[in-house]
Amino acid sequence: MLDQIRIILVETSHTGNIGSVARAMKTMGLSQLVLVSPKELPDGQAYALSAGASDLLATAKVVDSLQDAIADCRLVIGTSHKPKSQDHQVLNPRQAAELAVPELQQGPVAIVFGRESNGLSNDELRLCNYHLCIPTSAEYTSLNLAMAVQVVSYEMRMASLDQQPEAEASAEEKTSYPTSEQLEGFYQHLQTTLDQTGFIIRAHPGHIMIKLRRLFTRARPDEVELNILRGILTSVQRFGRVGNSTITPEQQ
């Protein structure tokens, strides 16, 4: 089950860290590693520091963008140095694991780690359903990347050990969530529709769309709800084309 946890490293600078991350993951039973535009591909140093976890480096996927890395994920958790966020619920590693592990049966869950120097950008964090912050000491927050992966992987393992006995339990009542790709399709549909209704100006969709994305990321619609939302958008587009039939019957 833990093989459905996808550890994503964004623009890692030091290949040694990638190796240490692989080792940290494997000690906890994780195996899926994705590298988004690493400064350098895993080299000798990465393999040396991975110790017996070189298989994770060999099978690591390398992609160009975070969007590609999370496209098939229904739950995306982004790590952040800031313990608070105005627009996202911030979880500690334990809460993140309690949330993520029960969803592994549905497919991959992404945990995203940013650059050694300055973490994830705001744009990247906006792609995440939740933010995760490791509660470091206020006086010294300099947690090494691989150490952060170790702590999070450890919590994932602890949560999976907790789960095992009860396991399959309520498999049927599980909510099914859309993938990031499906959500992206919804946002495009929303933007097009709001452009047509004149609510947003084609040239400057930015600010409003960011706010709407934030709202829906927080709401985390399931597949049924997303279908309703898309149905609403389609009805609005048709409404605009035919007009209100009581006012413009001639157009029907």
Instruction: Please report, as ranges, the residues that interact with a second copy according to CB under 8 A.
Output: 20, 23-24, 26-29, 51-53, 84, 86, 92-94, 134-137, 139-144, 146-147, 150-151, 154, 157-158, 161, 170, 173, 175, 194, 196-199, 208, 211-212, 215-216, 218-221, 224-225, 228, 231-232, 235-236, 238-244, 247-248, 251
Q: Are 143 and 107 in contact (CB under 8 A)?
A: no
Tokens of 116: 């050694």
Cβ closer to a second copy: 66 or 194? 194
Cβ closer to a second copy: 42 or 93? 93
Q: C-beta of 68: minimal distance to a second copy in Å?
A: 27
Q: C-beta of 21: minimal distance to a second copy in Å?
A: 11
Cβ closer to a second copy: 165 or 198? 198
3-state secondary structure the chain: CHHHEEEEEECCCCHHHHHHHHHHHHHCCCCEEEEECCCCCCCHHHHHHHHHHHHHHHCCEEECCHHHHHCCCCEEEEECCCCCCCCCCEECHHHHHHHHHHHHHHCCEEEEECECCCECCHHHHHCCCEEECCCCECCECCCCHHHHHHHHHHHHHHHHHHHCCCCCCCCCCCCCCCCHHHHHHHHHHHHHHHHHHCCCCCCCCHHHHHHHHHHHHHHCCCHHHHHHHHHHHHHHHHHHHHCCCCCCHHHC
Q: C-beta of 110: minimal distance to a second copy in Å?
A: 20
Q: Are 148 and 232 in contact (CB under 8 A)?
A: no
Cβ closer to a second copy: 122 or 142? 142
CA distance 189 to 199: 14
Q: C-beta of 20: minimal distance to a second copy in Å?
A: 8
Q: C-beta of 207: minimal distance to a second copy in Å?
A: 10
Q: C-beta of 57: minimal distance to a second copy in Å?
A: 14
Cβ closer to a second copy: 64 or 86? 86
Cβ closer to a second copy: 117 or 137? 137
Cβ closer to a second copy: 36 or 50? 50
Q: C-beta of 173: minimal distance to a second copy in Å?
A: 7
CA distance 247 to 83: 53
